[in-house]
Each structure stands twice: as structure tokens, then as C-alpha cells.
């Protein structure tokens, strides 16, 4: 067989994107709970919103369908001006998996910085939490390319002008089961604002980077857990040494005295 027609046996044509992670989550962890603290407290337990991963996945399907119906195409940027909550997770799943680019907007930026990054990324749609809509409203007249603003939750969003879309109403009009495209791992997946002075810079993140970032986070958490276990073991060893007033070695995971120190001490 000519070399040019041979296929690799290293599976390096498998695309490292978020979509397989999304599918795995809804199949294997469908009943895992996603809990959002809302900040509201009452006797009925209204301080939390609870959903399963399967429910969140279905809502992500509906969001992807709604965005596609609004004209969002692969490569288009969709901004999110939101808290760290379930709705934001739905956007994190839906937008990159449908082929669009997620643009997480920093709610703590100054108005001129916020307007700059939205225009620089050329966001077509912005999903905003109504509780912080007034922050976005300060720059609404400076965003000529934003075609749609989707509002989630209670709050005063009147400053954003006319033509606002309700997030839950959009999702209610769609069905779960969106046909997500297979994307290349080097296609854009997300844009984040970075900078420590002067103008904020937009940094593009690719689909492979997002998946590797998830893996790196998991590895870091495992390393932290191991470090905590090691530290606990050293503390236990120190306590044993202090009690017997002798150094202690570890043998097969169990502390024991050294041979020299097990000999009888002279009177």
C-alpha cells in the first residue's frame, strides 16, 4: 500500500471537542444534579434551583435551536453577560457545540472596556441576566452589530431598549434533540477578555484547548488531593513519633520503629 494512502493507527484524527464530553455527560451522568444558588432565601427553599444534567442538556438543545432560528451561524460570536449559574452552563454547552463561538463578557469591566470587547469580537447576540442588565444598558447604544439581546430572569432590563427576547420563552418554543455538527478541534470555540492594563485584549480559545483545559483542571485537582493525603500522612507520622519519642519509618504503609531504636536502652 502506498504510504500516501495509509491511515494512522494512533487515532490522531479524533477531534478533541466539547461535543463528546457533552454526549457522555447526558448519557452517563444524566441524573447528576446541578444546583444554583439564587441568593433569594425563603422558608420554601427558594434559595436554590436544582436540575439534573439531563434536563440541562435538553435546555442546551433548545437554546441551540433558538439561536439557530435567530440566524446564528457557525463562527458567529454569542456573548454572555451572566452570573455563574445553570443558564450560563446551558450556554457553555450549546454555543460551542452548535459551531458558534462563546464570548464570556466580564461583568466587572468599565463601560468603555465592555463596549470595546463586544465590538472587537463582533458579537451578534448577547444573553444577559436581568439582574445585571443595567450594566449592559450603559453601552447598548455603542453596540451597532448586536442584533438580538436575550434576557434571563427577573429584573429591570428596560434600559436595553425594545425588541428584547425572553430566554425561557425562546426555549419553550423549541424541542430537545438538536443536531449538533461535528466540528474540527482547531475551530474557534470561545473568546475571553484578558488584560492587565490599557485596552482589554480578546483571546480566542479553540475546541481542543477547551477540552485539554478540562483535563488539566481534573489533573490539578487530583494532584491537590494527593498532596493533601501526603500532608495528612506526614502529620500522622509526626504525631506517632512524638508519642513514642522515637523516629519512625514507614514499612508497607504502616509505621514501625527502626531496628536500632527497638533495641533495649541501657539503664
Residue 95 has pLDDT above 80, yes or no: yes
Residue 21's contacts (CB-CB under 8 Å, 6 or more residues apart) are: 211, 214
| pLDDT, position 139 | 97
- Kindly state the DSSP code that residue 31 receives in the 8-state scheme: T
Q: How confident is the model at residue 10 (pLDDT cuts 50, 70, 90)?
A: very low
Residue with cell 504502616: 254
Q: Which of 172, 166, 164 is nearest to 147 (CA)?
A: 164
> 84 — alpha (psi -120 to 50), left (phi > 0) or beta?
beta
Say which residue, 63 or 225, is predicted with more confidence. Answer: 63
Least confident span in 110-119, 178-187, 240-249: 240-249
pLDDT tens sequence across 163-196? 999 999 999 999 889 999 887 666 555 566 554 4
Nearest to 176 by CA among 62, 19, 30, 56: 62
DSSP labels for 180-218?
A: PPP--TTSEEEEEEE-SSSSPEEEEEEHHHHHHHHHHHH
Is 64 in contact with 97 (CB distance < 8 Å)? yes
- What domains are defined for the chain? 15-39+57-207 (3.40.50.12780)
| pLDDT for residue 107 is more than 90 | yes
Cell 429591570, located at residue: 156
pLDDT at 38: 79
pLDDT band at 212 (very low <50, low <70, confident <90, very high): very low
CA atoms within 13 A on the CB side of 91: 28
Q: How confident is the model at residue 119 (pLDDT cuts 50, 70, 90)?
A: very high
Mean pLDDT of 195-218: 49
The average pLDDT across 234-238 equals 62
Tell me what pLDDT residue 171 has: 97
Select the highest-mean-pLDDT range: 108-112, 202-206, 235-239: 108-112
Q: Which of 97-101, 128-132, 149-153 has the lowest mean pLDDT?
A: 97-101
Q: Residue 20 — very low, low, confident or very high, per pLDDT cuts 50/70/90?
A: confident
Q: What integer is the mean pLDDT of 77-104?
A: 94
pTM over 0.85? The answer is no
Going by pLDDT thresholds of 50, 70 and 90, the confidence category of residue 21 is confident
> Residue 244's pLDDT is what?
57
Angstrom distance (rounded) from CA 153 to CA 161: 17
Between 234 and 79, where is the model more confident? 79
140: its cell numbers: 447598548
Task: Give yes or no for residue 203 having a pLDDT over 90.
Answer: no
Amino acid at each position: 500500500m502506498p504510504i500516501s494512502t495509509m491511515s494512522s493507527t494512533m487515532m490522531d484524527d479524533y477531534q478533541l471537542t466539547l461535543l463528546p464530553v457533552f454526549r457522555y455527560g447526558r448519557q452517563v451522568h444524566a441524573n447528576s444534579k446541578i444546583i444554583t444558588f439564587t441568593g433569594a432565601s425563603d422558608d420554601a427553599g427558594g434559595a436554590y434551583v436544582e436540575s439534573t444534567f439531563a434536563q440541562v442538556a435538553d435546555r442546551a438543545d433548545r437554546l441551540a435551536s433558538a439561536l439557530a432560528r435567530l440566524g446564528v451561524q457557525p463562527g458567529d460570536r454569542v456573548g454572555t453577560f451572566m452570573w455563574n449559574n445553570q443558564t450560563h452552563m446551558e450556554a457553555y454547552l450549546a454555543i460551542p457545540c452548535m459551531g458558534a463561538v462563546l464570548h464570556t463578557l466580564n461583568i466587572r469591566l468599565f463601560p468603555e472596556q465592555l463596549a470595546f470587547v463586544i465590538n472587537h469580537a463582533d458579537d451578534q447576540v448577547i444573553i444577559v441576566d436581568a439582574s445585571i442588565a443595567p450594566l449592559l444598558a450603559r453601552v447598548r447604544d455603542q453596540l451597532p452589530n448586536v442584533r438580538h439581546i436575550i434576557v434571563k430572569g427577573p429584573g429591570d432590563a428596560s434600559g436595553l431598549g425594545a425588541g428584547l427576547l425572553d430566554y425561557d420563552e425562546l426555549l419553550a418554543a423549541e424541542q430537545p434533540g438538536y443536531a449538533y455538527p461535528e466540528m474540527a478541534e482547531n475551530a474557534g470555540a470561545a473568546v475571553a477578555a484578558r488584560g492587565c492594563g490599557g485596552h482589554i485584549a480578546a483571546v480566542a480559545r479553540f475546541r481542543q484547548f477547551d477540552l485539554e483545559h478540562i483535563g488539566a483542571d481534573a489533573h490539578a485537582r487530583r494532584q491537590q488531593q494527593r498532596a493533601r493525603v501526603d500532608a495528612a500522612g506526614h502529620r500522622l507520622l509526626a504525631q506517632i513519633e512524638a508519642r513514642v519519642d522515637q523516629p519512625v519509618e514507614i514499612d508497607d504503609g504502616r509505621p514501625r520503629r527502626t531496628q536500632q531504636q527497638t533495641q533495649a536502652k541501657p539503664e
